[in-house]
Structure 1
Amino acid sequence: MGNIKWIFVLFSILAAISLMGIAISISMASPLIAGASIVALIIIMGFGFTTKKRYREEGKL
Structure 2
Amino acid sequence: MNNVKWSLLVYSILAAAGIMGIGIAISEKSLVGAIACILAVIVIMGMGFRTKRKMRENGEL
Cα RMSD (Å): 0.5
- 1:7-44 Cα deviation digits (max 9, x unpaired): 01100110011001000001000000000000000000
Distance in 2, matches of 1:53 and 1:2, equals 20
> Relative CO higher for 1 or 2, CA cutoff 8 Å, sep ≥ 6?
2
Residue identity matched to 2:41: L
Runs of 4+ aligned structure 1 residues displaced above 2 Å come to none
The residue that corresponds to 1:22 in the other structure is 22
The residue that corresponds to 1:3 in the other structure is 3
List runs of 5+ in structure 1 lacking aligned partners. none
Q: Percent identity?
A: 52
Distance in 1, matches of 2:46 and 2:30, equals 24
Distance in 2, matches of 1:45 and 1:34, equals 16
Cα displacement (A) at 1:2: 1.2
Residue identity matched to 1:43: V
The residue that corresponds to 1:42 in the other structure is 42
TM-score under structure 1 length normalisation: 0.97
